[in-house]
A and B are shown apart, each in its own frame.
Chain A
Amino acid sequence: MTVPLLSLQGLTKAYPGVVANDQVSFDIGEGEVHALLGENGAGKSTLVKMIYGLVKPDSGQMLLRGAPFAPAEPRAARADGIAMVFQHFSLFDALNVAENIALGMENPPAMRDLASRIREVSETYGLPLDPYRTVGDLSAGERQRVEIIRCLLQDPKLLIMDEPTSVLTPQEVEILFETLQKLRSEGTSILYISHKLEEIRKLCDHATILRLGKNVGECTPAETSARDMAEMMVGTALKTPTRSDRIMGNVALDISGLSVPSPSAFGTSLKNIHLSLRKGEILGIGGVAGNGQDELLAVLSGETLSAPDAVKLHGQPIGRLGPVARRRLGLLSAPEERLGHAAAPDMSLTENAMLTAAVRENLVNRGFLNWPAAKAFAKRVISTFDVRTPGPENAARSLSGGNLQKFVIGREVLQRPEVLVVNQPTWGVDASAAAAIRQSLLDLAAGGTALLCISQDLDELMEISDSFAALNEGRLSTPRAASGLTVDEIGLMMGGAHGMEVAHV
């Protein structure tokens, strides 16, 4: 029996009010790709933070090659050969690639030597990268390369990857997997965190499943179906949303020749966008984050104004109307960022309901707010969408991500929109809440509403949309019928590998 590379034994970590990890134990072997599976809030992030020395366990111990291992800080973990690629990239936009990499190293060589080593390592692993480019100008895939190369330069024994593919196109995922397989063949172990089951089945040798902080099972992904793994993650049988046949009506929303310059330095300009959306239709818009999704939503919601004729609702030009006027006409939207954009974090649910529903639900009378009506509306959202909260007087911030998302989407759905635009409707939401939100969008479309759903989750788009288009660097591909599209075709619509060279492994 060989000694595993890293052995976790009974790790427990509690935060006030919640046990993030409860007696978690598993082993990671040498040269093994080990998957850590679980829903949001299952305790995956806390667990890897303990391995990386960012958080100290309350009890339990770790053994690295049989010797006790308790890193006091990331520096110590790095010294012992643990490297980590973060979910939300831990990069500094205003610094260049070499500076970013130097910050993640213990004793970086002089900048010029470092730059040549970066070139060397990046060529070896098929991840070409210019050390002197500013990170703020890089695409998501390139940023991830920076993180990976930062890890590789330290010769890690264990590479931790936290949701690495959530920001990549299918082609970029291919390149990443080839790199990871090359690493494995060289004897590096990888702890791979994800909730994308097909990827795990393809890549990982072994999987540990966490639910509510507990280790609820292990499996060999290649021999287990995705559905079984999903049910182990969620703990109950999954309900898949059902779609009923819908009749497409007249064109509700028409966008032609829409070009809008980027409002901020690191934003994306929209370039010559055409689309038309019929009543009862769901148009899914895919694409890697940062390719114009937020900008498109802002143009549709009325936060950004455009040429009057570029956006038409039922044939009426609305390009210069603000959000309130558009809401009055029936064009509603729910942006991606829950805390701060879709909802005001420190205001109560009643107040948040008032903020978007005032116009369509007649919650305002000659400038005076009708609080009882707003409260009733908030209660209706809470009960209809099964939002778990003590009541509408609670602050939006106090809700969990999934519950707040149900509230935010429900608040728009109940206002009987004629056109609804949603961005990332199920981002960071657990599987059962996501299914409920998708079902409500399908039901809404069945009632004749035209829906525009922007998302980075391709499975979600394929599940609910009638037609599909992708945003790439501010341009929208021509919408195509969603049924029958292959992953390759979708990837190409999303811009392929973004001009990144394919790995020569």
Chain B
Amino acid sequence: MDLSAINPVLLIASLMVAATPLLLAAVGELVVEKSGVLNLGVEGMMITGAIAGFATAVESGSPLLGFVVAAIAGAALSTLFAILTQFAQANQVASGLSLTLFGLGLSALMGQSYVGIKPPQMQDIHIPVLSDLPVVGPILFGHDIILYFGIALTAAIWAVLKYSRVGLILRAVGENHDAAHALGYKVVRIRILAILFGGACAGMGGAYISLIRVPQWTEGMTAGIGWIALALVVFASWKPWRVLLGAYLFGGVTVVQLNLQAAGVAIPVEYLAMSPYLITIVVLVILSADKSSAPAALGRNFHASR
């Protein structure tokens, strides 16, 4: 066993990378749930984004274009969910589950000819002086642009929900859709936009796994991150900064346990592998012991006739 082989600076830098897919998917789902919709299809939208982004990046040579297409693909898949739940009044839980299954199958089909290919690499940013600083440089100033985008998105969502009129209307729709309708807000339209936004975020999160985190394509490579994102939103009490905290915690434990495995710690690998899930959930359950505030209309379908 050789713990000295673990470099704390690299560890922190890589936990941020490990956390980003989860963060992107979870803040997207947070917006969806704030509007009162429960979309259990996050995993399916992520894996669809993962292969769409991967294929685009390989064919075009541009990873950034890959992320754009991944977002479009995620949003496109979520359109299906939006049509089912907002127009056909289908049950949200069943629609979300089938979206996940559909996404897993679709991505496997699309990805058949991409197995074993290496995608073009996303360049890390480099700011002269700042990025060359010891410790601080690699942690804060040496990542790819999408990682910063994820953090900025979290901040933006927090600010919009808290301070803007758009955020207030979104929360109102998720809180009491009948009252929002009576005041003249377009409940269905607002919810569809939120669902599309969540789909785009999940798609980008998936592409982050296949283009940066791993980077290669294998079937089912999101490996449950979408489900963790769903749990994270609940345990983070629908608060963006807590989602960030939970995502980094999950990323951190994942990276640490991988390092421990590599260092040959005498704990069975299975325990190490399950530790990120366990620890993240335990910590967030403790955090959410204060008044947890689910949007009151979460998961309830809206029909204007009543």
Contacts and interface: CB of A to CB of B under 8 A. Distances in A.
B179 A91 contact: yes
A108 B165 contact: yes
A5 to B, nearest CB: 22
B175 A104 contact: no
Interface of B: 165, 168-169, 171-172, 175-176, 178-180, 182-185, 291, 293, 295-296
Given A74-B182, A95-B172, A102-B168, 7 more contacts: A92-B171, A92-B172, A93-B175, A103-B169, A103-B172, A103-B180, A108-B165
Kindly state the interface size class of chain A when it binds its partner.
Answer: 20 to 34
B168 A103 contact: yes
Q: Would you list the 8 A-B pairs with minimal beta carbon distance, nearest first?
A: A74-B184, A90-B179, A92-B175, A90-B182, A75-B184, A73-B184, A92-B176, A103-B172
A94 interface: yes
A91 B172 CA distance: 9
A93 B182 contact: no
Interface in A56-101: 73-75, 78, 86, 89-95, 99
A93 B296 contact: yes
Contacts of A75: 184
A103 B165 CA distance: 8
Q: Which of B178, B179, B184 has the most CB of A within 10 A?
A: B184
A311 B178 CA distance: 39
Contacts, number: 50
A53 interface: yes
Residues of A contacting B: mostly = loop
B184 A95 contact: no
A317 B237 CA distance: 42
A395 interface: no
Contacts of B176: 90-93
B175 A95 contact: yes
Contacts of A54: 182, 184
B187 to A, nearest CB: 13
A25 to B, nearest CB: 25
A265 B182 CA distance: 26
A104 B183 contact: yes
A138 to B, nearest CB: 15
A208 B158 CA distance: 50
A89 B176 CA distance: 11
B182 A99 contact: no
Contacts of B178: 90
Interface string A218-230: 0000000000000
A73 B168 CA distance: 20
Nearest to B179: A90
A168 B291 CA distance: 29
A54 B183 CA distance: 9
A171 B143 CA distance: 66
A164 to B, nearest CB: 15
Contacts of A92: 171-172, 175-176, 179-180
8 contacts: A78-B184, A86-B182, A90-B183, A94-B295, A94-B296, A95-B171, A95-B175, A108-B165
B175 A99 contact: no
Nearest to B169: A103
Nearest to A74: B184
A90 B187 CA distance: 14
A274 to B, nearest CB: 33
Nearest to B178: A90
Contacts of B291: 265
A476 B124 CA distance: 69
Given A93-B175, A104-B183, A99 B168 contact: yes
